[in-house]
Chains A and B, each alone.
Chain A
Amino acid sequence: MNLEELKKLKDKAQRQVALREGNKKYRVVFSMGTSGIAAGAREIMTTMLDEIDKRGIDDVEVAVTGEIGLVDAEPMIRIEEASGEKVTYAKVNAADARKIVTEHLEKGKIVEGLAVGKVKE
């Protein structure tokens, strides 16, 4: 393990600290159970965080959750809006993750081809 690489952890954590705070317009929940992890959920989350950081989007909170039981649909992301609307995206790859950031989190448009569930509370 390269120590220089590890030192980048502190910078990155510093940049992402605001994403851990609540009361934002969007809450992005990553399914991070064993099946999600095996399907690449960690990389999807990293990709999204990098894209959010790159675009300077600040009205977003990120969260992780455990196994939700839909193994075949992993990696899964749920986006919860302050208004109560919830959208679930399934089988997300890196390109999808970037698209969800630019379309949903930046423009407020649901990425229809990727969304598998939508709930309005």
Chain B
Amino acid sequence: MLEELSLHILDIGMNSLAAGARKLEVAVIENTKRDWLIIRLRDDGQGMDAETLQDVLDHRASSKKGRKKNIGLGLAFLQQTSEMCGGTFHVASRPGQGTTVTASMRLSHIDRPPLGNINSTILTLSARADVDVQLHYRSDDQTFHFSSQEGKPHEPRRTQEAQR
């Protein structure tokens, strides 16, 4: 099992990269008053058809004809964690339209793993220069936003040129 929620995020985010995503949005929302933690990963990758999605959720490798497809346990691990912590788990996906994974859990649940080093997770996923990896973090009234494309070297240069 993965000890931090940010490791689950990395694991599932790697699926998005493998699915050819050009944009991956990671949202972490904490609401202490309502006692919820919501994690959502949305990508614009190749998506899955109903059969593949069912295979993923049933934790078995696809037997689809002519296609050898290895399905990992990443989604199963996060599903187990969220359900164990009084939450729900949902995956929405369509071929060509990307995938959205939403996991919720009770913030105060005794078995809830810590979020852990989310910075490290986002930086790891950001190794892919051609993918815009975004983090939206909200904790009650505090918010934080990051995009891996913000750090692109040509951006400050363009700003300097614009100032001239």
Contacts and interface: CB of A to CB of B under 8 A. Distances in A.
Interface of A: 1, 3, 5-10, 12-14, 16-21, 30, 32-34, 37-38, 42-43, 45-46, 49, 62-64, 66-67
B28 interface: yes
Given A1-B28, A7-B144, A42-B124, A13 B150 contact: yes
B113 to A, nearest CB: 13
Interface stretch (B61-69, B96-104, B114-122): B114-122
A19 B152 CA distance: 11
Contacts, number: 98
B118 A34 contact: no
Interface in B129-159: 129, 135, 137, 139, 142, 144, 146, 148, 150-153
A10 B150 contact: yes
A34 B72 contact: yes
A18 B74 CA distance: 30
Interface of B: 1-2, 7, 10-11, 14, 17-18, 28, 30, 70, 72-74, 77, 115, 117-129, 135, 137, 139, 142, 144, 146, 148, 150-153
A20 B28 CA distance: 25
Contact of A3 (B72, B73, B123, B142): B142
A48 to B, nearest CB: 11
The 5 closest A-B pairs by CB, nearest first: A20-B129, A13-B151, A17-B151, A9-B119, A14-B151
Contacts of A38: 1-2, 7
Contact of B14 (A8, A49, A64): A64
